[in-house]
Amino acid sequence: MKRRLLVKTRNVKNFVDLMNNLIDKSSEVPKMGLVYGDPGLGKTKTAIWWAGINDAVYVRAQNKMTSHGILEKVVEELGEAPSKKSTDLMKQCIAHLRLNPQIIIIDEVDYLIGQSKTIETLRDLHDLTGAPVVLIGMQEAKTKLGKFRHLYDRISEIVEFKPFSKEDMETIVDELSEIKITDEAKDIFFERTNRFRQTIKGISTLENLAKTNGLNKIDVKQVKGLKIEQ
Ligand SMILES: Nc1ncnc2c1ncn2[C@@H]1O[C@H](COP(=O)(O)OP(=O)(O)OP(=O)(O)O)[C@@H](O)[C@H]1O
Ligand SMILES: [Mg+2]
């Protein structure tokens, strides 16, 4: 199995486009982004990868986190010692980001939705620092955020992470598998799995099978015999 940090699936490409669109917007346009979708589709993985190569701030919200708590995390990620008071934390964000503009990515935003105080803080973070703020959440996040008009109106880019398409599965298999898998075998494999972890396990099992049996390609027979945990 080839070790790749990230496979460039459709979701990954859409994420990159969203980020570039936000960066390209003129200063009068609000620069909040929303990325949402079902679990396990790679939202977190993609965000951390993108933040790493683009020097963005990535923070993950936690259960019952207050607006103070999220600001504290952002300040820490900016590399500063967090102040005690919330108003000072916001001042730290403003001072730091005005001098060194960085995109802020907040993952698991579902934990912050529900308290109007945290929603206001996210809005302030965007309005007062001028930094693009990207929120990542679950499928329901979009509907829930829609109820907060003042925040929702600032969201100018939205991407939904979708289950892998056949094309994505091709990309994943081609990028990760070291052994050739015939087109017929791929078709059967894709009918049986479309989740990343299952796919990785499947490829690895098929590779081992090929190795022990001295096969130079994987065909229908091997894929049919593959056990896939649901
Ligand atoms: N394009 C990809 N390239 C490499 N690995 C991926 C890709 N997409 C998903 N994965 C893998 O799938 C698994 C789930 O991804 P991740 O945790 O990022 O999903 P998520 O959408 O953030 O889920 P949740 O909503 O539960 O937070 C991870 O182990 C990750 O490594
Ligand atoms: Mg996640």
pTM, full prediction:
0.90
The rounded distance, in Å, linking the Cα atoms of 159 and 14 is 7
pLDDT band, residue 27 (cuts 50/70/90): confident
Our answer on whether the CB atom of 45 is closer than 6 Å to any ligand 1 atom is yes
- 15 alpha carbon to ligand 1 midpoint, in Å? 13
Contact 113, 63 (CB under 8 A): no
Q: Tell me if the domain spanning 166-224 has CATH number 1.10.8.
A: yes
Mean pLDDT of 40-65: 95
Using one digit for the tens of pLDDT, what is the confidence trace for 115-152?
A: 889 999 999 999 999 999 999 999 999 999 999 999 99
Our answer on whether the CB atom of 159 is closer than 6 Å to any ligand 1 atom is no
> Measured from the CA of 196, which atom of ligand 1 is nearest?
12
- To test ligand 1's pocket by mutation, which of 60, 168, 196, 201 has the most ligand atoms within 8 angstroms of CB? 196
Three-state SS at 197? helix
- Residues of the chain with pLDDT > 90, as a percent, come to 80
Our answer on whether the CB atom of 104 is closer than 6 Å to any ligand 1 atom is no
Using one digit for the tens of pLDDT, what is the confidence trace for 181-220?
A: 999 999 999 988 877 888 888 999 999 999 999 999 999 9
Same fold across 10-161 and 166-224: no
> Measured from the CA of 9, which atom of ligand 1 is nearest?
1
The CA–CA distances, whole Å, from 88 to 59, 94, 112, 126, 178 equal 19, 10, 20, 16, 53
pLDDT value at position 230? Answer: 66
CATH architecture of 10-161: 3-Layer(aba) Sandwich (3.40)
Contact 6, 49 (CB under 8 A): yes
Three-state SS at 1? coil
> Measured from the CA of 47, which atom of ligand 1 is nearest?
18
DSSP per-residue letters across 21-62 = HHHHS-TTS--EEEEEESTTSSHHHHHHHHHHHHT-EEEE--
Residue with CA closest to ligand 1 atom 16: 42
Mean pLDDT of 159-175: 91
List the chain domain ranges: 10-161, 166-224
pLDDT value at position 40? Answer: 85
